[in-house]
Amino acid sequence: MAGPWPVPDLTGRTIVVTGANSGIGKATARQLASAGAHVVMAARDRSRGTAARDQLRRATGNEAVDLVVFDLSDRASVRDGAAGILELAPRLHGLVNNAGLVLSDRRLSADGVEMTLAVNHLGPFLLTALLADRLLASAPSRVVTVSSISHRQPVRGLDFDDLGTEHRYRALKAYGRSKLANVLFTRELARRTAGTGLTANCCHPGVVATGYSGDGDTSGWLAWGFAEITPILLTPDQGARTPVYLVSAPELAAVSGQYFVGRRVRRPSRAARDPDAARRLWEVSRLATGLTTAELPPDRWPQGAATGRAVGTAGDGRRGDGKRGGGRRGDGDDTIFPVRP
C-alpha cells in the first residue's frame, strides 16, 4: 500500500470524481481539492452529495468544489450528468471512475441491465465516452478507473453469453466480472487514445473500510464478512492515495493502460490481458449504452480529435423535450442483456 505521497499543486486542473459523497471517492475528492484542483463531485443522491460537497468546501477551504447528481445505472441520467459536467468544466483534465457497488441479490437497472454491471462498468463507460472530447481537448488528461483485486475472480474471463449474470447469480461473481470489465475497458481505452495525451489507468485501492456493504446492498454472510473485517482495513484516506496518485502524479504523464496496486504497476489477471475480450467488451458496451458511432469513434480516437462537441446537442440521442429518455439506440441491440426478472 502506498504511504503518504505529496500531491502536486493542482491549481487550474479540473477533475471529476464519481461516487464522491462517501468512502474512497469522498477522500479522493478531498485530497484533490486540498491540492487546489477544481473538483466536480458526482453523486446519485442530491442530499448526500450536497452534504459532502459542503463538508469538503469547509474542510479544504476550496470553494471550487461542485456537485453533479446522476445515477450511473441509468443511461439517460448519465447523459444528463455528462451535460452538467461539461457546463461546469470548460476544461477537463481528469475523470476518476470510482463509484461502484456489490449486491447480494440480483437487481435490474431502469434500463433492464444487471445492476452491478450497469453501475460498475456500463455507466462509467458511457460517462467516459461522453466526456472524451472535452478530456482530449484539455490534454494532457487522465481517466482513472477504480477496479479491484476481485477482477481476478473470473479466471476464465468474461462470459459474453451471460454478461448480466442471469445464470447462478452470486454477488462476488457479478462484482468480479464488473471489476474485470474495468481493467479491460482501461486497456482498450488506452489503446484507442494512444498518442492523444489522454491516458487511462486503473487500480486496486487496497481493502478499505467504507460503506461498501451499506444501504441493504448486502445481506447474510456477505454483510457479516464486511462487518467482521472492517477493523483491519485501510481508511478511506489511505484507499484514496492510489486514485489520487494516478490522476495527478507528474511521473505518470505518459503511462497508460496499466493496472496499479498502490504506486506500483502490477500485471493484471490473464483474462484482463486478453485484447480480443477488451475489443469485444468495448463493442458490446457501445451497443448496450446506445452510443452512436458519431459519439464514439469506431476504433482509435484520431490525434487531436477534440471537436468540442457537447452532450445535449443535436444527434446525441437526448430527447429534445427535456424528458429523460433512454437515448437514441443508434445501431444498438436491446437483446444484449435480456431482461428476465
List interacting residues with ligand NAP (CB under 6 A): 19, 21-25, 43-45, 48, 71-73, 98-101, 119, 146, 148, 204-205, 207-208, 210-212, 215
CB of 180 to ligand NAP, least distance (A): 12
Q: Which is nearer to ligand NAP, 101 or 132 (CB)?
A: 101
Q: For residues 292, 114, 84 and 247, what is the CA-based torsion angle, rounded to 10 degrees? A: -90
Question: In the complex, which residue's CB is closest to ligand NAP?
Answer: 23
Q: Which is nearer to ligand NAP, 48 or 280 (CB)?
A: 48
DSSP state of 316: S
Q: Are strands 141-146 and 38-43 parallel, antiparallel or unpaired?
A: unpaired
Q: Which is nearer to ligand NAP, 52 or 136 (CB)?
A: 52
CB of 201 to ligand NAP, least distance (A): 14
CB of 12 to ligand NAP, least distance (A): 26
CB count in 10 Å sphere of residue 22: 19
Asked if 175 is an active-site residue, the reply is yes
CB count in 10 Å sphere of residue 158: 23
Q: Which is nearer to ligand NAP, 30 or 137 (CB)?
A: 30
DSSP letters spanning 126-188: HHHHHHHHHHHHT-SEEEEEE--GGGGS-TT---TT-TT--TT--HHHHHHHHHHHHHHHHHH
Cα–Cα distance, 3 to 230 (Å, whole number):
20
Cell numbers for 109 = 437497472
Residues 6+ apart with CB under 8 A from 186: 143, 145, 147, 200, 201, 202, 257, 259
Alpha helix segments (H runs only) across 163-295? 171-192, 220-229, 236-248, 275-289
Q: Cis before residue 90, ω within 30 degrees of 0?
A: no
Cell numbers for 207 = 481493502
Cα–Cα distance, 305 to 325 (Å, whole number):
28
CB of 299 to ligand NAP, least distance (A): 28
CB of 191 to ligand NAP, least distance (A): 22
Q: Which is nearer to ligand NAP, 43 or 117 (CB)?
A: 43
CB of 298 to ligand NAP, least distance (A): 28
Cα–Cα distance, 168 to 268 (Å, whole number):
26
Cell numbers for 240 = 484514496
DSSP state of 9: P
Cell numbers for 233 = 482495513
Q: Which is nearer to ligand NAP, 196 or 285 (CB)?
A: 285
CB of 22 to ligand NAP, least distance (A): 4
Cα–Cα distance, 172 to 104 (Å, whole number):
8
Q: Which is nearer to ligand NAP, 127 or 284 (CB)?
A: 127
The active-site residue, picked from 169, 175, 245, 259, is: 175
Residues involved in catalysis: 175
